Structure 1
Amino acid sequence: MLPLNGIPTPEDIAAVMPTEERLSKGPVAITECFQNIPCDPCYHSCKRGAIKAFTDINERPQIDFDKCNGCGSCMSRCPGLAIFVVDATYSDSEALVKIPYEFLPLPRVNQIVTAVNRAGEELGNAKVVKVQNTKAQDKTALVWLAVPKNLMMESRHFLVKEVR
């Protein structure tokens, strides 16, 4: 389906996901870059060496999940906005999903938004926990959403319910 509509298949997604054991240890980045293109800023931005070295710049990024601490430094460097951080340990009922965001206006902390999946379908409410927007991020803000745990692997964007 990816070449036809841009939506990855369940097999595509399964190939880039960390194990349940790794998810239980805290925040971790997930690269949902599903096409071979000449791109490697994520590799150069990771100070922990969690994004494995490319032997060919056209390769898709691979994360060593054991080295990744979910800091998100790779997220704002990805021109395709294809890297997300999930934290299944956020609370008993919610997970944290960090999403790269390049729209204005930025959402507000504590604002309720609608989480959407990779196809743009509405999943339910999410709460904005934090908005990071520093000069170093070069206009790619990172929006931290608290979502129900069962939606953490599906929530990949959001809709602002109101315009300020």
Structure 2
Amino acid sequence: MLIQTGIPSAEDILTVTPSEERFAKGPVAIAECFQKIPCNPCMMACAKKAIRVEPDINQTPRVDFDVCNGCGVCLTRCPGLAIFIVDKTYSDTEALIKLPFEFLPLPKEGQLACGLNRAGEEMGWFPVVKVIPGSKTNKTCTICLAVPKDLAMEVRNIRAGGYQDGR
């Protein structure tokens, strides 16, 4: 299905999803990279060595969820924008998801952003908790959204310019 639509199947997603026990420990990186291509910036960026691309550079990245602390450095280094940070410990009802974002205008903290699933379908309006700008050499920004916990593994983008004033 991925090769025809560009959208991973539920089975694909399960292969890269941490256990609920791991989610209960705090933020964790999820690499939704499913194509075997020569790429390893995420592995090179991880100071904890939680991401491996082995046995050769054409393999898909694998996150060692027991080592990953969800710092998010890998998120901004992925040229395919395929790494996300999910923190289901953010609150009793919400998860904090960190999304790579390379469009303008950027949302502002306190605004609501229109969250999209992997197919680009609207999932609702969610508070922008933080916007982390990219660096001078890497312009990828990080958008932090508070979403209901049941949508933590569904919301994967926001509609560019689709912002409203907060709650």
Partner of 1:82: 82
> Which of 65-74 and 154-163 deviates more?
154-163
SS for the counterpart of 2:42 is helix
Distance 1:5 1:73, change over 3 A: same
Superposed, which structure 2 residues align to 1:88-103 within 5 Å? 88-103=88-103
Per-residue CA distance 1:95-120 (angstroms, 9 max, x = gap) = 00000000011110011011110000
Per-residue CA distance 1:119-146 (angstroms, 9 max, x = gap) = 0011111110011114266100000000
Query: Is 1:37–1:60's contact at 8 Å kept on the other side of the alignment?
Result: yes
TM-score by length of 2: 0.94
Partner of 1:42: 42
Partner of 1:62: 62
Superposed, which structure 2 residues align to 1:150-161 within 5 Å? 150-159=150-159, 160-161=161-162
Matched pairs, number: 163
> Which of 108-117 and 47-56 deviates more?
47-56
Q: Could you list the structure 1 runs, at least 4 aligned residues long, displaced by more than 6 angstroms after superposition.
A: none
Partner of 1:115: 115
CA separation in 1, counterparts of 2:53 and 2:11? 24
Distance 1:140 1:134, change over 3 A: closer
CA separation in 1, counterparts of 2:89 and 2:136? 27
SS for the counterpart of 1:4 is helix
Which segments of 5 or more consecutive residues in structure 1 lack a partner in the other structure?
Answer: none
Query: Is 1:77–1:137's contact at 8 Å kept on the other side of the alignment?
Result: no
CA separation in 2, counterparts of 1:79 and 1:102? 11
The yes-or-no answer on 1:28 pairing with 2:22 is no
Query: Is 1:76–1:137's contact at 8 Å kept on the other side of the alignment?
Result: no
CA separation in 1, counterparts of 2:142 and 2:63? 19
* Percent of aligned pairs with the same amino acid: 56
